[in-house]
Chain A
Amino acid sequence: MFTYYLDLALRSLKRNKVLTALMVLAIAVGIGASMTTLTIVHLLSGDPLPGRSSVLFFPQLDPESPVSQGHTQPYPMMDYRSAVDLWSAHRADRQAIITSSSAKVRLPDSGQPPLMLGLLSTSADFFPMFDVPFQYGSGWSADDDAHRARVAVISAGLNQKLFGGADSVGRILRVRDTDVRIVGVLKPWRPTPLFYDPWSQNFSKTEDVFAPFTSSLEINQGNFQPYTCWHVPKDPRDMVHADCVWVWLWVELGSPAKVRDYARFLDHYADTQKAAGRFAVGSERVRLRDLMTWLTARGQVPDDVRLQAWLALAFLVICLFNAVGLLLAKFLRRSGEIGVRRALGASRGAIFAQCLVEAGVIGLLGGFFGWVLTLLGLWLVRHQPVDYAHLARLDTTMFLATFALAVCTSLLAGFIPALRASRVVPGWQLKAL
């Protein structure tokens, strides 16, 4: 029966080519616009560390005192003392203290001009915690952190630029005025979004040089920029003693019990600091969010992208209404034909099924052209000067979603017209013939 309906559908579609083309076009354009924007939203709200994101947590507290007007959420960073206190307490399975600055980097005695590069200052746990892939060598040890070792890990990009991609472990790099030994070279690594840095643009690249937090404080002293300050620092080059937030922490907590314990530890710390007069607010402004919750809280998907998605969906709804109207017109125009079929014994269900098959075929056609338009849309996004442009590609999920959306749309659009068509009174139609 289905093949017969399919044959009927194709015949009917061929009979009125203009109307068919209009319907397919309307659905295709609606699908193309919505799938392009939905794909972007889907890609942007992706999990940067699938499998591990649920055990990674971002602790926040509010060291500001006194608290300024309109400030109700903790900053995404901490002051030096709080961060170092929490880090050195070692209450989590793993903990990485992090800050970012820019530093002048060059190869000693190479004659190449110096470069200003992003320097990520962190601790040994950073690499295993975030599953950072290494091309050569490895990260540094906790011992290196403790002894303020002059070591560094560099990005694949920098290794390419300075050493032509060769194994540069053991080579010396001059960071500002200090020589550091390269202990590891990363594979190309571009977590999207750049989840670990609350300061960065969501889709920017990683830093090029990674060095122990303790050593960086000495190497790049004076070049650390505060996120914000609640007192103007006495010496803007001394962030360690300034009332500013500029350091943050990531912790790994392997079980719900550990999460509870750590949350209690954080609350206790904040309350103790408040009692000591260092904080104005205590545990009420402590947050411990897991990676995905933190990314959502931070606003991972840009407002503009979200707006575009809503716009495209509204557009799809308009296309849907359009398709319903046109299908209704199409089916009812065939009232005579339907009347004959009914008179010859076809049930209402059969007419209904036949009409839905026709709507489904239109949906598939619309889906196909919608897919082409989606590819075109994503190609356009890739050529826009936006920082997420490189991400705009259709994955399998979204490819299948395109067709699912198209067929659902057209079946939904076909439902009411098909119902109406199946209610055609045969006698009335036959009389008119």
Chain B
Amino acid sequence: MQIQPIVAALRRHRLATLLIAMEIALACAVLCNAFFLVAQRMEMIHTNSGIDERSLAVLSVNGFEPSQAADVNARMLAGLQAIPGVQSATLINQVPFGPQRAAAGVTHDPGGYKKLIGVVDFVLGGPGTFKALGLKLVEGRLPQADDYQPAVSFVPNDAQVLVTRALAEHAWPGESPLGKDFWCDKFHFRVIGVVDHFARAQPHQYDMAQAEWTVFTPTAPGGSLSGTYLLRARPQDVQRVLRDAKAAVAKIAPDVVLDQEDSKTLGDLRTDYFETDRIMIGLLLGVVVLMLGVTALGIVGLTSFWVGQRRRTIGVRRALGATRGDILRYFQTENLLIVTIGITLGMLLAYLLNAVLMKFYELPHLPLYYLPIGALALWGLGQLAVLGPALRASHVPPVVATRSV
């Protein structure tokens, strides 16, 4: 196949060629970045909470005074445990994808502001909560009975805690975190164990790298650990158990107010939390499909026009011995050339667009492998779009050459 005649023909249609190439370029830029955004959102949606979500639900009540906390806790725990199907009912202050209740900046030095580790989430859990969550311990030991200290104001004054691997690697890179100390103002924490994964309440609000900066703090019931309960049941029972539990609150503690909005199964909490991301993914994919569709239509339209314009020329070529395959390949090669010009421009544009997005949306760099993927997609699209008109061209009979138009 000779390229030269194709190039010569394209030169005579510089404007139209340029238009299609520009369209492809823009499509390429948008396509690469849209796919990248989709991939980012997908990664977010699949945030590993580290807990046994399918078997868990959370129930929250409020509207009671601190003096009533111990009594409310006792009544609620007993009442919830009595519900058929409940494997365990334990105290917790916050769960992944629920409201954030305790977060603070922690430091390597007591009361200091100089050696900041970062802002971490404190998950306060009563006896049994660690096991109920289904967290995976990778180093150190589980909390023992005397590790559960009362938290009068915020967290226990002197706590033995478990941190996530992500937090440990950030705070003490290359060292064993076991036995290490850290502080929040005057509150002291010592690391007794490391868990594999444990997401903070609102992982979205932080960098991806900080999504698991969570500290599990064994805490005795009462004080700031009251009103929110973690229910564990078999996955198939969770919905029903939560429904029964909500209904039972009125009987167990008629003077408190059930927090409908925050009492959900962990599965529902996750679904709700990532709702907007799912919408965004749908939208991005929708736009990509429409955009590719419009681009394909453009190619079909323009090639059809060219085929119509060149009927005589095609007839002459056929009469001079060109096969149908030759004509077909001519248009396919022509399309390949135009799309390639577009893609070359498009890759530059894609990086430019990525730079703009990075500036406004805290996005990382577009990984290089998106470019060949985008290029392949557009080459494929171009070939698919050109096939119809090219086939029609190849069916132009040689006899056309002998007729005047």
CB of A303 closer than 8 Å to a CB of B: yes
Name the B residues within 8 Å of A235 (CB-CB): 153
Residue in contact with B305 in the complex, picked from A25, A114, A321, A333, CB distance below 8 Å: A333
Q: Are B305 and A236 in contact (CB under 8 A)?
A: no
Determine the distance from Cα of A370 to Cα of B185 in the docked complex, in whole angstroms: 58
Which residues of chain B from 248 to 281 have a CB within 8 Å of any chain A CB? 250, 255, 257, 259, 272, 275-276, 279-280
Please name the 6 residue pairs, one residue from A and one from B, whose CB atoms are nearest each other, closest first.
A329-B305, A104-B63, A322-B298, A321-B23, A232-B185, A325-B19
Please name all residues of chain B whose beta carbon is closer than 8 Å to the beta carbon of A29 when the two chains form the complex.
Answer: 290, 294
B215 on interface, CB distance cutoff 8 Å = no
Chain A: interface residue count, which band? Answer: 35 or more
Kindly list chain A residues whose C-beta atoms are within 8 Å of the C-beta of B283. Answer: 308, 311
9 contacts between A and B (CB under 8 A): A68-B116, A104-B62, A232-B184, A307-B361, A311-B287, A315-B294, A322-B298, A332-B305, A384-B279
Q: Judging by beta carbons under 8 Å apart, are B16 and A321 in contact?
A: no
**Residues of chain A from 223 to 237 with CB closer than 8 A to chain B in the complex:** 231-237
A386 lies within 8 A of chain B by Cβ: yes
Known: A311-B34, A312-B287. A22 touches B308 (CB 8 A): no
Q: Does A26 contact B (CB under 8 A)?
A: yes
Task: Flag if A326 contacts B301 (CB, 8 Å).
Answer: yes
Q: Tell me the bound Cα distance from A26 to B357 in angstroms.
A: 26
| Chain B 58-72 per-residue mask, 1 if CB under 8 angstroms from chain A, else 0 | 000011001000000
Chain A interface residues toward B at CB < 8 A: 19, 22, 25-26, 29-30, 33, 66, 68-69, 102, 104, 113-116, 222, 231-237, 303-304, 306-308, 311-312, 314-315, 317-319, 321-322, 324-326, 328-330, 332-333, 384-386, 416, 420, 432
A330 CA to B308 CA, complexed, in Å: 11
Residues of B within 8 A of A330 (CB): 305
Bound-state CA distance A317–B62 (Å) is: 53
Partner of B153, one of A25, A236, A308, A312: A236
Output the least CB separation between B306 and chain A (Å). 8
B298 touching A33, Cβ below 8 Å? no
CA distance A347 to B102 in the complex (A): 77
Interface membership of chain B positions 196-219, coded 1 if the CB is closer than 8 angstroms to chain A and 0 otherwise: 000000000000000000000000
Within the complex, the shortest CB–CB distance from B350 to chain A, in Å, comes to: 11
Q: Is the CB of B309 within 8 A of A328?
A: no
With A304-B276, A318-B291, A329-B304 known, 6 other A-B pairs at CB within 8 A are: A318-B295, A325-B298, A326-B298, A328-B16, A384-B279, A420-B15
Q: By the criterion CB–CB under 8 Å, are B405 and A432 in contact?
A: yes
- Which of chain B's residues have a CB closer than 8 A to the CB of A113? 250, 257
A177 to B139, CA, bound (A): 49
Q: Provided the pairs A116-B62, A232-B154, A232-B187 are in contact, do residues A26 and B250 lie with their beta carbons within 8 angstroms? A: no
Query: A225: shortest Cβ distance to chain B, in Å?
Result: 10
- Measured in the bound complex, the distance between the Cα atoms of B15 and A416 in whole Å is 9
Report the Cα distance A30→B26, complex, angstroms: 14
Q: How far apart sit A378 and B55, CA to CA, in the bound complex (Å)? A: 38
Query: Would A329 and B301 be within 8 Å (CB), given that A231-B185, A303-B361 are in contact?
Result: yes
Q: Which of A306, A326, A330 has the most CB of B within 10 A?
A: A326
Chain A: which residue is nearest B309 at the CB level?
Answer: A333
A377 to chain B, nearest CB (A): 10
A69 touches B116 (CB 8 A): yes
Contact between A116 and B291 (Cβ–Cβ < 8 Å)?
A: no
By a beta-carbon cutoff of 8 Å, the part of chain B in contact with chain A is: 15-16, 19-20, 22-23, 26-27, 29-30, 34, 37, 62-63, 66, 104-105, 113, 116, 153-154, 184-187, 224, 250, 255, 257, 259, 272, 275-276, 279-280, 283-284, 287, 290-291, 294-295, 297-298, 300-302, 304-306, 308-309, 357, 360-361, 405
Cα(A196)–Cα(B211), bound, Å: 30
Looking at chain B's contact residues, the main secondary structure is: helix
Q: Of B22, B66, B291, B298, which contacts A237 at CB under 8 A?
A: B66
When the two chains form their complex, are residues A325 and B20 in contact, meaning their CB atoms are under 8 A apart? Answer: yes
The minimal Cβ–Cβ distance linking A311 to chain B, given in whole angstroms, is 5
- Least distance between A250 CB and chain B CB atoms (Å): 26
Interface centre among A22, A102, A322 (most CB of B within 10 A): A322
CA distance A64 to B187 in the complex (A): 20
**Nearest Cβ distance between residue A221 and chain B, in whole angstroms?**
11
* Cβ distance B57 to chain A, nearest Cβ, rounded Å: 20
Cβ–Cβ < 8 Å partners of B272 in chain A: 385
B185 partner residues in chain A, CB cutoff 8 A = 231-232
Interface centre among A235, A324, A333, A420 (most CB of B within 10 A): A324
Say whether B290 contacts A325, CB under 8 Å. Answer: no
Residue of chain B at shortest CB distance from A30: B294
Interface-central residue, B153, B272, B294, by most chain A CB under 10 Å: B294
Give Cα A22–Cα B186 distance, bound, in whole angstroms. 70
Residues from chain A with a CB closer than 8 A to the CB of B37 are 307
Q: Are A116 and B294 in contact (CB under 8 A)?
A: no
The residues of B that contact A315 with a CB separation of less than 8 Å are 30, 287, 290-291, 294
Q: Which residues of chain B are near A308, meaning CB under 8 Å?
A: 280, 283
Taking CB atoms, residues of chain A closer than 8 Å to B306 are 329
For the complex, give the distance between the alpha carbons of A289 and B207 in Å. Answer: 29
Q: In the complex, A232 Cα to B185 Cα: how many Å? A: 7
Q: Is A232 a contact of B23 with CB atoms below 8 Å?
A: no
Residue from B259, B291, B295, B309 having most chain A Cβ neighbours under 10 A: B291
Instruction: Tell me the bound Cα distance from A237 to B121 in angstroms.
Output: 21
Which residues of A are found within 8 Å of B275, using beta-carbon distances? 385
Query: Please, how many angstroms separate the alpha-carbon atoms of A325 and B105 in the complex?
Result: 58
Please give, as numbers and ranges, the residues of chain A lying within 8 Å of B301 by CB-CB distance.
19, 22, 322, 325-326, 329
Taking a contact as CB atoms under 8 Å apart, the answer to whether A329 and B302 are in contact is: yes
CB A354 to nearest CB in B, in angstroms, measures 19
Please give, as numbers and ranges, the residues of chain A lying within 8 Å of B294 by CB-CB distance. Answer: 26, 29-30, 315, 318-319, 322
A365 CB to nearest B CB, Å: 16
Q: Give A336's nearest chain B residue, CB to CB.
A: B405
A115 to chain B, nearest CB (A): 7
Cα distance, A234 to B23, chains bound together (Å): 63
A318 near B259 with CB under 8 A, answer no
Evaluate whether A114 and B63 lie within 8 angstroms (CB atoms) in the complex, with A325-B20, A328-B16 already known. Answer: yes
**B154 lies within 8 A of A318 (CB):** no
Residues in chain B near residue A66, CB distance under 8 A? 113
Which residue of the partner chain, among B184, B187, B295, contacts A322 with CB atoms under 8 Å?
B295
CA gap between A319 and B291 in the complex, in Å: 8
User: Please, which residue of chain A has its CB at the minimum distance from the CB of B34?
Assistant: A311
**Closest-CB distance, A22 to chain B (whole angstroms):** 5
Q: A33-B290, A66-B113 are in contact. Are A318 and B63 (CB under 8 A)?
A: no
Nearest A residue (CB) for B292 = A318
Asked if B19 and A328 sit within 8 Å, CB to CB, the answer is yes
In the complex where A29-B290, A66-B113, A236-B154 touch, is A321 in contact with B34 (Cβ < 8 A)?
A: no
Q: Are A68 and B105 neighbours in the complex by a CB distance under 8 Å?
A: yes
Evaluate contact between A318 and B27: CB separation under 8 angstroms. Answer: yes
Tell me, rounded to whole Å, the shortest Cβ–Cβ distance linking B110 to chain A.
12
**Assembled-state Cα–Cα distance A333/B29 (Å):** 31
A303, B301: Cα distance in complex, Å: 36
Residues in A neighbouring B360, C-beta threshold 8 A: 303, 306
* Measured CA separation A432–B312 after assembly (Å): 12
Bound Cα distance from A325 to B361, whole angstroms: 33
Give Cα A416 to B14, complex, Å. Answer: 13
| B297 / chain A contacts, CB cutoff of 8 Å | 22, 25-26, 322
Contact A317 B26 (CB under 8 A): yes
- Bound CA–CA A318/B22 (angstroms): 8
Which of these, A314, A321, A385, contacts B298 with CB under 8 Å? A321
